[in-house]
Amino acid sequence: MSSEIDVSKFEKKMIIREIQEKDFTSIIQMQKICFPNMEPWEYSHLKSHIDIFPEGQICVEYDGEVIGSCSSLIINFDEYDDQHTWDEITDNGYITNHDSEGYNLYGIEIMVHPSYRRMKIGRRLYEARKNLARELNLKSIIIGGRIPNYYKHSKDLSPREYVEEVTMHNIYDPVLTFQVMNGFSLKRINRNYLDDDRASLKYATLMEWNNIDYHPKVPKRQFKTSFPVRITSIQYEMKKISSFDDFAVQCEYYTDVAASYVSDFVVFPEIFTLQLLSFLPEKSPSQAIRRLTEFTEEYIELFTNLAVKYNVNIIGGSHFVEEEGKIYNIAYLFRRDGTIEKQYKIHITPNERKFWGISGGDKVNVFDTDCGKIAIQICYDIEFPELGRIAVDKGANIIFTPFCTDDRQGYLRVRYCSQARAIENQVYTVLSGTVGNLPDVENMDIQYAQSGIFSPSDFTFARDGVVGECNPNIETVVVGDVDLEILRRHRRAGSVNQLRDRRHDIYSINYFQ
Which residues are part of the catalytic machinery?
270, 345, 379
Collapse the DSSP code of 286 into the 3-class scheme (helix H, G, I; strand E, B; otherwise coil) and give the result: helix
DSSP string for residues in 119-149: SSHHHHHHHHHHHHHHHTT-SEEEEEEE-TT
CA pair distance 98, 183, nearest whole angstrom: 25
Cα dihedral sign for 410, 388, 403, 319? Answer: negative
SS3 state at 305: helix
- Rounded Cα–Cα distance for residues 491 and 408 (Å): 33
What does the DSSP 8-state code read for residue 240?
Answer: -
Nearest 10 degrees: Cα torsion 268, 271, 277, 283: -160
Q: Are the beta carbons of 135 and 129 closer than 8 angstroms? A: no
- Rounded CA gap, 433 and 270, in Å? 7
Of 304, 323, 321, give the one whose Cα is nearest residue 313.
Answer: 304
433: which residues sit within 8 A by CB, 6+ positions away? Answer: 235, 236, 269, 270, 402, 403, 404, 405, 411, 414, 447, 448, 449, 450, 451
Q: Are 149 and 159 in contact (CB under 8 A)?
A: no
Cα 174 from Cα 62, distance rounded (Å) = 23
